[in-house]
Amino acid sequence: MSLFLWACESACRRKRIRHATLAVVPISLLQHFAYADDKTAEVVLPSVTVTGSAQSAGSSSSRPIDPNVPATVETVTRKQSDNWNVVNTEDVLKYMPNLAVRKRFIGDPNSIIAVRGTSNAQSARGLVYADGLLLSNLLGNSWSFAPRWSMVYPDSIERVDVIYGPYSALYPGNSLGATVLVTTRMPTKFEADADVKAFTQHFSLYGINENFNGTETTATVGNKIGKFAFRLGVNHLANTSQPLQFATLAQSSAPARAGDTPVDGVYFYNNQTMRPTAVLGVNGEGIQHSVQDQFTLRAQYDFTPTVQGAFTLGYWHQTYNSRTSTFLTDANGNPVYSGKVDIGGYEYTIPAAALAPSLGFNENWLYGVSLRTHQATGWNAEAIASYYDVTNSVARTASAGGPGNGPGVVTYGDGTGWKTLDLKATWTPASPAAGWGGHWLTFGYHYDNYFLDNETYNTTNWRDGAAGSFANAFAGRTRTQALFAQDAWRVLPRWKFVYGVRYENWSAYGGRQAVGAMGLPYPESNDHHLSPKASISFDVTNDLTLRASIGRAYRFPTVSELFQGQINGSSIVNNNPNLRPEDDLSKELAAEWARSNGLVRMSLFQDDVKNTIFSQTDTTVIPNVTSFQNIGRVRSRGVELSYQGEDVFARGLDLVASVAYTQSKIVANVQNPASVGKYFYRIPLWRANLAATYHLDERSALTLAARYSGRQYNTLTNTDSNPDVYGGTSTYTVADARFTFKPTKKSEIGVGVDNIFDARYFVYHPYPGRTFYIDAKLRM
């Protein structure tokens, strides 16, 4: 039985929102603006993705996204996030309702958002834009295809808006989870900033007991000279993570034999399925030292009072070195990395690559141009084009653990990237003061092209040796073209009907895999779908708005889901060129109630997704096959309650709070019947966030915050009965704090701590321990 959702998308018709710090967009206030009078209508932008445009006049924090978005919207402003521990851009989202970021360490390039019924392994179910430019890495759908947060540094952010669900025809089916719109700020006069941060954590687990440290430095300069404005920024981050991965073996029952090397130093624990497991050392991603350099330039020019062009150039370079180590030593104290060993009288066989280190680097460029008009009423147009280019990508892995420069493999990913083009036209009524009958029209065209090309070679020197014999390769492309239209119709003074449709034509081509002399090309595949959307809202009073929304969305397969993998003999593993798109029907009921100093939202939602694309094991064939497959049906339903306000209980106390319950279950799955009726992968039953900032005076503020994530499963069959260990996915409660002080109007000092009580929690990998921050900012 479908569960509709109750409630809110609009609300707050308060005469003013002090300092514009409410983290939930007051949609009904925006609707009031939309038909109040011509003067107020000037703040209604035709563009859904607000950029630093029509902004030449000043800060964009007071400029909302399109008031006709037919979905729940949550917002974080610069004023709020300045009082939180923010190092990377994704940190701005850390206290959003029913949303979590899988961030394993500061500078983690694999930070993925999880929201409602979308887990942190489904990266292709989220969209991230910065000033209209797509940062989502839709080349794949897993932890390794996170948005390119690094193309935006936190100090440049003016606000972040999160649109929940696929209810707007303006966005593709990848919006099934959420759409994140990052708006950066543009200067109105000369400005220059410098920001220096340092952070440290002490981490102890198994055989590791160390301090891990890092620093970040940011400098920006900008100015507005007549019709021309620019902002240039550089950022340097260096950090060493806690151990991310350990080498483990199941406890052996085979007696040791003569010739086995007796070793000491092993640690034992019960893994996520309660099986005794031996920990041999740090492996895989290991203890990762990462150095990242970033450069961004954004420029805009007002050709006329209503026509503006903008150009964005982004550069991001990363080098990393993953240090591994063994806990095992022989009778003479020498480290042991592989072979047959004797542990407590039992024989264990350690593979040569079990403790193998790795390193690599990659270089990325983002190019973006836009041209738009911003008239208060009538027709407006917008064109945005972007190109994301991975110009260099090299990953090197040793074939065996231990010191030295022995053999290994090197993988090249140069030439990978994506291109996008968006054309849009909007119509805003000339007389919204009429109160009803007005139509806000939007229609447009979208194009994207994703291309992936990876080649792996053997090498005699894994650290810096030349490519030797060919090992394997995979490549492929996807292309999507879409037409969309949406109308927001003020049916009656208190009723608004927003309806739209999106037509998408998708194709995958150029797919190939090869191992040695064996190559396998794939034929081109095509698909197309129509996605209708509808939403109706009712202003019960000036302070209370109800909204019901429904929308269909199709999430098409990515290049890596279709083609990435390897050939083992005559079998293809880890990919599926015959995948069908995810077919989603989402429903939401929401209510939003604005009070004098805050905003309350309650939402009920349900997502029914057919053909969910996920990596699983087909247990109906022998031998079993693990690959990306279509799961018949997954249903997610839940309820969210959020509040945000200022001067709550006491003057100067700002509060952000939310609690959410989500039940996501597998309804049908032919390839793995044991999973039917079980909870879906990594969707916690409960999420709760709280952030309270008390402004002691105009110069200082203290923030106390907490994040909670409830029970979730790391397997589709829910067999992980011991989740709060390495290899599992934990229930956790984490507390944070920060104190900021401004000695002068142009300077600021901050000290903070995340994970105050040093909770040890896991997302398979360990999350960071207690982390201390100190930073200093200087502005000119």
pLDDT at 47 over 50: no
pLDDT at 434 over 50: no
Please state which of the ranges 510-524, 638-652, 668-682 shows the lowest mean pLDDT.
Answer: 510-524
Position 465 confidence tier, pLDDT thresholds 50, 70, 90:
very high
Domains of the chain: 18-275+305-396+436-779 (2.40.170.20)
Position 753 confidence tier, pLDDT thresholds 50, 70, 90:
very high
Q: What pLDDT does 519 receive?
A: 73
Q: What pLDDT does 571 receive?
A: 39
Position 596 confidence tier, pLDDT thresholds 50, 70, 90:
confident
Asked if 68 and 488 touch (Cβ cutoff 8 Å), the reply is yes
Using omega within 30 degrees of 0 as the cis cutoff, is the peptide bond preceding 623 cis? yes
Asked if 246 and 206 touch (Cβ cutoff 8 Å), the reply is yes
State pLDDT tens for residues 147-159: 999 999 898 999 9
C-alpha dihedral (629, 632, 635, 636), degrees to nearest 10: 0
What average pLDDT does range 434-449 have in this prediction?
Answer: 85
Q: Which strand (E) or helix (H) includes residue 188?
A: none
Q: What pLDDT does 627 receive?
A: 85
Position 82 confidence tier, pLDDT thresholds 50, 70, 90:
very high
Position 517 confidence tier, pLDDT thresholds 50, 70, 90:
low
Alpha helices, DSSP H, located in 386-543: none
b vs e for 269-301, b when ≥16 Cβ sit within 10 Å of the residue's Cβ? bebbeeeebbbbbbbbbbbbbbbbbbebebbbe
Position 565 confidence tier, pLDDT thresholds 50, 70, 90:
low
pLDDT at 41 over 70: no
Q: What pLDDT does 403 receive?
A: 86
pLDDT at 27 over 50: no
Supply φ then ψ for residue 707, to 5 degrees: -130, 135
What average pLDDT does range 616-624 have in this prediction?
Answer: 85
* Cα 361 from Cα 392, distance rounded (Å): 8
DSSP state of 657: E
Burial of residue 756 (CB within 10 Å: 0-12, 13-18, 19+) is middle
Q: What pLDDT does 563 receive?
A: 87
Q: What pLDDT does 451 receive?
A: 95
State pLDDT tens for residues 219-232: 999 999 999 999 99
b vs e for 208-237, b when ≥16 Cβ sit within 10 Å of the residue's Cβ? beeebebebebbbbbebeeeebbbbbbbeb
DSSP one-letter string for 700-767: EEEEEEEEEE---BSSTT------SSTTSB--EEEEEEEEEE-SSTTEEEEEEEESTT----EESEEP
Q: Which residues contact 541 (CB under 8 A, 6 or more apart)?
A: none
Q: What pLDDT does 769 receive?
A: 97
State pLDDT tens for residues 624-658: 888 899 999 999 999 999 999 999 989 999 999 99
Average pLDDT, the chain: 89
* Cα 121 from Cα 123, distance rounded (Å): 6
Check residues 59 and 639 and name the one with the higher pLDDT: 639
Position 42 confidence tier, pLDDT thresholds 50, 70, 90:
very low
State pLDDT tens for residues 699-729: 999 999 999 999 999 999 999 999 999 999 9
Q: What pLDDT does 404 receive?
A: 84
Q: What pLDDT does 637 receive?
A: 97
Alpha helices, DSSP H, located in 479-631: 559-563
State pLDDT tens for residues 340-362: 999 999 999 999 999 999 999 99
pLDDT at 621 over 90: no
Nearest residue to 218 (alpha-carbon basis) of 242, 190, 240, 238? 238
